[in-house]
Structure 1
Amino acid sequence: MVAIKRAALLAGLAQLIGTSAAQDAITDDSHFYGQSPPVYPSPEMVGGNEWEAAFQKAKLLVGQMTLEEKVNLTAGVTKDSTCSGNIPAIERLRFPGMCLSDAGNGLRNTDFVSGFPSGIHVGASWSKDLAFRRGTTMGGEFKTKGVNVLLGPVVGPAWRIVRGGRNWEGFSVDPWLSGQLVAQTVSGIQGQGVITSTKVSILRATLSILIPNVLQHYIGNEQETNRNPEGNISSVSSNIDDKTIHEVYLWPFQDAVRAGSGNIMCSYQRVNNSYGCSNSKTLNGLLKSELGFQGFVVSDWGAQHAGVATAKAGLDVAMPSNGGFWGDHLIEAVKNGSLPESRVTDMAMRVIASWYQFNQDQDFPKPGIGMPSNVLDPHEIVDGRDPAAAPVLLNGAIEGHVLVKNTKDTLPLKSPRMLSLFGYSAKTPDDFNPSANSLFMAAFGENGTMFGGGGSGAITPALAISPFEALKMRAYQDGTAVFNDFISDRPSVEPSSDACIVFGNAWASEGSDRPAIRDDYSDSLIKSVADQCNKTVVIFHNAGPRLVEGFIDHPNVTAVIFAHLPGQESGPALVSLLFGDTSPSGKLPYTVAKNESDYGDVLDPAQPKGEFANFPQADFNEGIYLDYRYFDKKGIEPRYEFGFGLSYTTFAYSNISINYIEGANTYPWPGGPIVSGGQTDLWDAIATVSVNVKNTGSVAGAEVAQLYVGIPGAPTKQQLRGFEKPFLQPSQSETVTFHLTRRDLSVWSVERQKWQLQQGTYKFYVGSSSRRLPLNGTMHL
């Protein structure tokens, strides 16, 4: 993926608009940043290792299928249910078909399900345990409702665009953090027993449940603006160089494939001017060859834009089938020699093998059994909720709140006589109706609190409790008087208030990018209250970074919490934190800047402009310098740095110990065979870093200890390579150990097309955030 060649781009555009128009459209090679060289043929599934048994079973079943039956598996159909899509049954062979449904934060658009914390909330928790347990309990609900494929979790977008409309569905702007959490989520959903990774044993659930679909979306889908063609304007092209795509955008997908994901969804937009579902380099080359992916690739809904070309490029299932590109046309292509039948056989193999891999041939509910076409019509009730999920929903909601300011001994609240509440994000949304089957189920603007974001990643819980409802119940129990005004933009404050709590939100939804990362209405409301109340607590339900410069230095703004998107337990979680029943433990999975301009060119999505007005281009020429890496490079002081978060207690770090693992292979290049996730020796343990963490305060709490590594030869000063979250009682200390693999300590070599372990001195930094790193040490390889 070196600088794109003009001829290659012309060829791609000529397919769309004709040769002469393409010549007119492209006049300057410097506008383009990457290319996707062709990779053919599409690699066939080979089984092996953990996929071998499923591969052999699929071989027997697919071997009995006619060409028409195999083709039938490759295109989605609409059934009498609210499944997002279905792979049709083959009744002759007793294959029941498969139900695919949204989304990565809970089953959407149906009844009797839960609303889990969103991806951003899990990212803010920095908890691998929470990610795993959330995946397990969420997957159980999908299974009960007869959903074979959970359309999640999300690692794309990777938060490149600060105003990106769907960032909140993913975990973090950092690929290493995102990769760790997606691996735990996939492991929880699939529940395949006990595995070992980088010397960390993880006990998984015993039930095989779902095929997680690691969306949205493979790969480079970083903005909603122009994600699809509209009128005479084509989809935006994400132009990414080879080094950046490996070290940033492919990284968490690799972790997900390594964890066993059975399905990948290709994206709407173009990658280096080739549609994501027609890009042979990303599908055949990176995913199926380099990462050894054994599952099937499904298109995002309506993301297929060609027929035979998409099959050759590595697409296995098109959703939905009404695009008309496959079906009879695919059968004809095989018969006339345009497409080898072996490619269709492999497409069917990958679908059926995934079905076997997760034991869906054994006692799995009928596909879509709990997904009625209309929940308002009479139907058999299938309650997907498991009472065992209750602590996951509550604790998950608690852990994703991030306390960033706490002065004047404001929090936790101590038996207040009167609380005054302000702002629309405190109350239940006016039109909150879990039975509405709304695609965009979320609270917008002044309508009410945000349990989650909008779009196909939204949640539709059977019940959700807003902050106001939960605060009323706590006040009733404690005898606290409550005053509230959720309408006025310049409210009057009751003078006897012990504290004032102002709620706001920063909304985001599929379909558009965020309009801004601050708003005058909320800032003005906060300052108006703070002018009258000497302890003003600000709560933001935010779907991404939210600037605070408009009010943060006001002397009466004494506490600020980024509450993110907590799911159905939003209110109880917040009350638990405000009153000190639990201590905040969340950390920011992104950087909060002081000014919009501090984010540089990645603040806003790319727009059609100039000579490329019909072919919008997003050049990822910042490379790997996103978020804290960019702030470090430019020497920009953030308001709150990546990894920052306060607690009600304090922690001390001491005794760093760095140990090279005796006998570890430090040859610069990996040489192991390719299995799911890439070459096997990429996960060989190379070193460990250990530190002591002590709770030096007076209350119990959890601390996220973070490890950053300076890799010799890497352009960045440091990058996240480890985190652990011990829970400590007062005066208790614990030694935490970070395990570092070959991949963790390598950089991508464009010349050798491999991960290269560097020779030289590695620098290690440990602390509580990306800029609070009291311990450091070195190791020479």
Structure 2
Amino acid sequence: MSDHEISGKDALVRISATTAREIIELCGTVQFDGNTETGVNAALQLAERFAYLAYDALGDTVPDHEEMARRIMRKNGEHAQLKINEAIKSVQHLTEALAVATKELDTAREELATFYKLRETDVHKANAKAESAIAHTQTAILRILGFSGSGVALLRPSCAQQNILNDTAFYGQSPYVPAPIASGTGPWAEAYSKARATLAQLSLEEKVNLTGGASAPNGCSGNIPSIGRVGFQGMCLTDAGNGVRATDFVNGWPSGIHVGASWNKDLAHQRGIYLGGEFRAKGVNVALGPVAGPLGRISLAGRNWEGFSNDPYLAGALSSETVTGIQSQGVITSTKNSYILNHLLKTELGYQGFVVSDWVAQHAGTASANAGLDMSMPAGATFWGDSLTQAVVNGSVPESRIDDIATRILAAWYQMGQDTSFPLPGSGMPASLVEPHKAVNARNPAAKPYLLQGAIEGHVLVKNVNSALPLRSPKLLSLYGYSATSAPNNNPPSAGALGAWPYGAGAYANPEAIICGLTSTTCGSAPDIAFNGTLVSGGGSGAITPPYISAPLDALLAYAYDNDVTLLWDFINTDGTGVVDQATDACLVFINAWAVEGRDRTHLSDEYSDKLVNNIADQCSNTIVVVNNAGIRVVDGFYNHPNVTAIVYSHLPGQDSGRALVSILSGQTSPSGKLPYTVAKNESDYGKLLSPALPTSPYEFFPQANFTEGLLIDYRAFDALNIEPRFEFGFGLTYTTFTYSDLSLISTGAPTQTYPTGEILPGGKTDLWDVLFTATATVTNTGSDYPAAEIAQLYVTIPNAGVGRQLRGFFKADIGVGASVQVPFKLTRRDLSVWDVVAQDWKLQSGTYVVDVGASSRNLPLSQTITIPEDQGS
């Protein structure tokens, strides 16, 4: 055996042993204490020491591989080739680990520099920066250790807690599922035919170039380079599901949670059409949205507002309408473990498109390619690029996998018609808005009514004592609260690191001292409110970029002018004491609940806002509270105050926020929104799903969600545990009343065998979508004054399913005064099935199913049963 043959292995053994000794020497003395300068520096030194050792090993492991291969092949042929492949893989893994570790160390140094600046003036923030520096250095250590398997075995037990190599040892590993080759059947057949013809003309390097992001002189979130000789123009991928982010001349649409509260499939579809048109006009090939789930599972999660609902049926229905709307404009959508990608998505669901990583979320090279990842963003070269080409050459990744990746990407491009008359990628997305650039106006005037109607229908009225709303010819209205006016900044160059309009972003710093001064609890790392103006969107990559903002104050000023109303306001008094004119007809208090990508909310309410409401209500007998909420907002801090007569969840309405609200307050439009989540009386009612179950040492670097709650999420958990909510899922008031009657269930006669047997096409086995039963019910507007829309909801209780009633249908109908409407529902095989973990298939169980219809998950006056007989063929 030659020296070259064993050098790679020797290097790995040496680095493992050396690393272990270093940890043993340092682990007993270094305290990872984020509050001390010594602890931070010690952690950095430890990580850097490992990095230097690793670079040494890398130098020993990278002789000329071609020369090595020639020498070994002369001696031992096939066995030697296996050895050289192992050496090459070792180098790849180590190189990848070092690249990530280097970035982590750079970030840690930046955080440490900030720590030094802040430690004399703001201990709280300085400590947070110190803790962040520690976290990044520990991550760097783990990345460097991750390529060597033997080092940790030498550690003392007390030190091993700081140095877990990977999560496989603790959580197990999904069974390996080979990546399937896309079938290209059904509606994708023509696109796949074109893609395969193009693929045949590409070199391996060109195929690999399709798999990863590359830099480009535009403002896209990510780019795939062009291949001009075959007519492929490349791709621009840009955020997000609620509108085109961080650019000009686009609309600011209602956010996902607002659409969810509307329960309106038609509006979701129209919103998707116009969103798609704006992405297309800007030269965006892939819209990075919508968010489908499982957002909402964790009540405090910072990105819940981007999704439609905590319920999978409602979220799925609105996601489907959004996707078909966007893709009708020729824009690809990106709805947000080899088993999941290769088996569930690409095999069971017959998925024909491609899978893209979240930004900087790829953490492996060859493994992720074999596990089913198709596109790496934003920089393919980090783990793929030349390394992926080399992996194909040395056999680590089959070339058939690269062919399938490239075919899927090209087929999606052809399927959406982007090979003909599509704008150049990123042509309307300037790299810098403060530099001269071409103005591409993507707004369609025909979208205006849908922007306003979408904003109106996502408002949910949850309290209305003695018909406090609508307002009836008021003479004097008094306005209070920090969420009534527009934010002081609607300028993207001033938006900070996220590059989007910063609604609420200023709250990171500005209101914290005020909040801390008025509450008895300790402030968290981020406030729960946006003190600098009304919320039309949440924060982060899903933030919208509106051309204007109609804030509540703006719209109320116009209302006051048109209706001879005196309007008083005080947005300076921070606690609401001694400010109410006693001649006022109503006091409107505007508060909000802020949420942002990158961090979870601290609480589902805040003492500052609750105190403001209560202080106003102490002085005003008709206090109406308007809550801009980017997620669940618990209101029991003021709900029972006798002078709080009305509460409106206004969610995140987009650019027409104020106009939509005043339409409802004035009675021009009856509210029709209903809650797409459950509002508890107390935060503790959400139990273990209130906040993430973050792992502690020694697993803190490998958070794991085990989903032990099963199907018991949101209303299903409240029902199973018999917890009374403040407002149940599907609840919402309006200015009239409705009655339900005449529930009818009819079998269609479709086969009811236990398991589906249909062909697998995109979406799964075709007979999963067979309609087994149809249902109708009559809804009557029994009020005398207002026409309104009602959302009739159908719930099914499946026998022996381990969960109670589940939403399986809804229908929104406009109903005039005294009129009746028959609302229809369809129940498919999939609606009535459960997942059989043994058969690994959807099972239609025999037995009695209960079907309930009504106005919310706990107001279901109509009920019938249906029976599925035993499958005689089973």
Q: TM-score range by the shorter chain?
A: 0.7 to 0.9
Q: Contact 1:104 / 1:169 at 8 angstroms: preserved in 2?
A: yes
Partner of 2:108: none
- Structure-2 separation of matches of 1:35 and 1:150: 34
Q: Contact 2:835 / 2:842 at 8 angstroms: preserved in 1?
A: yes
SS of the aligned residue for 1:54 comes to helix
- Structure-2 separation of matches of 1:32 and 1:327: 30
Which one is further off, 287-296 or 35-44?
35-44
Q: Contact 2:287 / 2:331 at 8 angstroms: preserved in 1?
A: yes
Instruction: Compute the displacement of 1:502 (Å).
Output: 0.3
- Residues 607-643 of structure 1 deviation map (CA, whole Å, 9 limit, x = unaligned): 2314323333333211110110100011000000000
Q: Contact 2:489 / 2:501 at 8 angstroms: preserved in 1?
A: no
SS of the aligned residue for 2:356 comes to strand
Q: Which has the higher strand share?
A: 1
Aligned letter for 2:490? F
- Structure-2 separation of matches of 1:116 and 1:359: 25
- Structure-2 separation of matches of 1:107 and 1:718: 38
Q: Contact 1:58 / 1:352 at 8 angstroms: preserved in 2?
A: yes
2:735 maps to 1:675: no
Unaligned runs of 5+ in 2: 1-142, 505-529, 869-874
Q: Contact 1:158 / 1:175 at 8 angstroms: preserved in 2?
A: no
Note closer, same or farther for the CA distance 1:536–1:31 as it changes in structure 2 (3 Å cut): farther
Which one is further off, 429-438 or 14-23?
14-23
Which one is further off, 151-160 or 164-173?
151-160
Which residues in structure 2 correspond to 1:112-131 (within 5 Å)? 112-131=249-268
Which residues in structure 2 correspond to 1:577-596 (within 5 Å)? 577-596=664-683
Partner of 1:476: 561
Partner of 1:653: 740
Instruction: Compute the displacement of 1:434 (Å).
Output: 4.4
SS of the aligned residue for 1:737 comes to strand
Instruction: Compute the displacement of 1:432 (Å).
Output: 2.5
Which residues in structure 2 correspond to 1:3-42 (within 5 Å)? 15=146, 18-19=149-150, 21=152, 36-42=173-179
Note closer, same or farther for the CA distance 1:761–1:35 as it changes in structure 2 (3 Å cut): farther
Partner of 1:163: 300
Instruction: Compute the displacement of 1:487 (Å).
Output: 2.4
2:437 maps to 1:379: yes
2:282 maps to 1:145: yes
Q: 2:574 aligns with which of 479, 486, 489?
A: 489
Instruction: Compute the displacement of 1:44 (Å).
Output: 1.0
Partner of 2:507: none
- Structure-2 separation of matches of 1:457 and 1:382: 21
SS of the aligned residue for 2:345 comes to helix
- Structure-2 separation of matches of 1:40 and 1:778: 41
Instruction: Compute the displacement of 1:18 (Å).
Output: 3.7
Partner of 2:241: 104
Q: Contact 2:534 / 2:628 at 8 angstroms: preserved in 1?
A: yes
Q: Contact 2:728 / 2:857 at 8 angstroms: preserved in 1?
A: yes
Note closer, same or farther for the CA distance 1:558–1:348 as it changes in structure 2 (3 Å cut): same
Q: 2:652 aligns with which of 546, 558, 565?
A: 565
SS of the aligned residue for 1:430 comes to coil
2:369 maps to 1:283: no
- Structure-1 separation of matches of 2:380 and 2:411: 25
Instruction: Compute the displacement of 1:341 (Å).
Output: 1.1
- Structure-2 separation of matches of 1:356 and 1:653: 48
Note closer, same or farther for the CA distance 1:367–1:42 as it changes in structure 2 (3 Å cut): same
- Residues 737-762 of structure 1 deviation map (CA, whole Å, 9 limit, x = unaligned): 11010010000000000000010001
Partner of 1:418: 476
Partner of 1:441: 501
Partner of 1:696: 782
Partner of 2:331: 210
- Structure-1 separation of matches of 2:147 and 2:788: 58
Which residues in structure 2 correspond to 1:735-750 (within 5 Å)? 735-750=822-837
Which residues in structure 2 correspond to 1:610-689 (within 5 Å)? 610-662=697-749, 664-689=750-775
- Structure-2 separation of matches of 1:479 and 1:78: 57
- Structure-1 separation of matches of 2:422 and 2:294: 32
Aligned letter for 2:321? Q
- Structure-2 separation of matches of 1:567 and 1:682: 37
- Structure-2 separation of matches of 1:750 and 1:32: 24
Which residues in structure 2 correspond to 1:745-764 (within 5 Å)? 745-764=832-851
2:485 maps to 1:399: no
Note closer, same or farther for the CA distance 1:611–1:15 as it changes in structure 2 (3 Å cut): closer
Note closer, same or farther for the CA distance 1:406–1:16 as it changes in structure 2 (3 Å cut): farther
2:197 maps to 1:66: no
Normalised by the length of structure 2, the TM-score is: 0.77
Aligned letter for 2:671? P
Partner of 1:340: 398
Instruction: Compute the displacement of 1:673 (Å).
Output: 1.4
- Structure-2 separation of matches of 1:59 and 1:436: 46
SS of the aligned residue for 1:765 comes to strand
SS of the aligned residue for 2:467 comes to coil
Instruction: Compute the displacement of 1:571 (Å).
Output: 0.6
The root-mean-square deviation of aligned C-alpha atoms, in Å, is 2.1
Note closer, same or farther for the CA distance 1:713–1:69 as it changes in structure 2 (3 Å cut): same
- Structure-2 separation of matches of 1:286 and 1:56: 24
- Structure-2 separation of matches of 1:734 and 1:550: 39
- Structure-2 separation of matches of 1:31 and 1:495: 66
Partner of 2:860: 773
Q: Contact 2:678 / 2:728 at 8 angstroms: preserved in 1?
A: yes
Q: Contact 1:401 / 1:562 at 8 angstroms: preserved in 2?
A: yes
Instruction: Compute the displacement of 1:324 (Å).
Output: 2.1
SS of the aligned residue for 1:297 comes to coil
Q: Contact 1:39 / 1:284 at 8 angstroms: preserved in 2?
A: no
Note closer, same or farther for the CA distance 1:16–1:472 as it changes in structure 2 (3 Å cut): farther
% identical aligned pairs: 55
Which of these two proteins has the greater Rg computed from alpha carbons?
Answer: 2
Aligned letter for 2:469? L
Q: 2:585 aligns with which of 479, 498, 502?
A: 498
Aligned letter for 1:677? G
Instruction: Compute the displacement of 1:357 (Å).
Output: 0.3
- Residues 430-486 of structure 1 deviation map (CA, whole Å, 9 limit, x = unaligned): 222245465253422211111100000001112121111111111111111111111
Normalised by the length of structure 1, the TM-score is: 0.86
Instruction: Compute the displacement of 1:31 (Å).
Output: 13
2:795 maps to 1:708: yes
- Residues 23-56 of structure 1 deviation map (CA, whole Å, 9 limit, x = unaligned): 95699xx999976533332111111101001000
2:457 maps to 1:361: no
Q: Contact 1:110 / 1:437 at 8 angstroms: preserved in 2?
A: no
Q: 2:192 aligns with which of 42, 48, 55?
A: 55
Instruction: Compute the displacement of 1:731 (Å).
Output: 1.1
Instruction: Compute the displacement of 1:677 (Å).
Output: 1.1
Q: 1:179 aligns with which of 306, 316, 319?
A: 316
2:642 maps to 1:555: yes
SS of the aligned residue for 2:656 comes to helix
- Residues 406-430 of structure 1 deviation map (CA, whole Å, 9 limit, x = unaligned): 0132100112111111111111012
- Structure-1 separation of matches of 2:665 and 2:539: 27
- Residues 330-379 of structure 1 deviation map (CA, whole Å, 9 limit, x = unaligned): 11111122221111111110110000001111111111111111112211
Partner of 2:46: none
SS of the aligned residue for 1:143 comes to helix
- Structure-2 separation of matches of 1:656 and 1:544: 34
Q: 1:724 aligns with which of 808, 811, 834?
A: 811
Aligned letter for 1:428? S
Instruction: Compute the displacement of 1:13 (Å).
Output: 13
Partner of 1:606: 693
- Structure-2 separation of matches of 1:124 and 1:494: 35
- Structure-2 separation of matches of 1:567 and 1:209: 24
- Structure-2 separation of matches of 1:16 and 1:398: 55
Unaligned runs of 5+ in 1: 1-11, 192-207, 216-278
